[in-house]
Amino acid sequence: MKSEKRILIDACGVRCGKRLIEREGMPVDSYIELTSKLGIRKVKQLPSKDLEERVYEVIKKELDALLGK
């Protein structure tokens, strides 16, 4: 199955996911780098429910914009 739209959600402030996808030559229609977008630092711990909700809202907003909703 081939996707019509692709979104890359990167949780790395130095854009590791973006560099990887570019290296592989894969096109993306939308890109979100979560740590900068949310104004947080990446840490090695489980996220709080509040952070999970904020991440969900950022992704939903980006998807709605990408899909024209």
In a domain, 34, yes or no: yes
pLDDT tens-digit series, residues 14-54:
888 999 999 999 889 999 999 899 988 877 888 899 999 99
- Domain range enclosing 53: 7-67
pLDDT value of residue 40: 87
Question: How far from chain centre, in Å, is Cα 51?
Answer: 14
In a domain, 1, yes or no: no
Cα dihedral 8/13/18/23 (nearest 10):
-150
What letter would DSSP give residue 43? Answer: -
In a domain, 58, yes or no: yes
In a domain, 37, yes or no: yes
In a domain, 20, yes or no: yes
pTM to 2 decimals? 0.73
Task: Indicate the number of domains in the chain.
Answer: 1
For residue 52, give Cα distances in angstroms to 21, 29, 34, 57, 60. Answer: 24, 24, 11, 9, 12
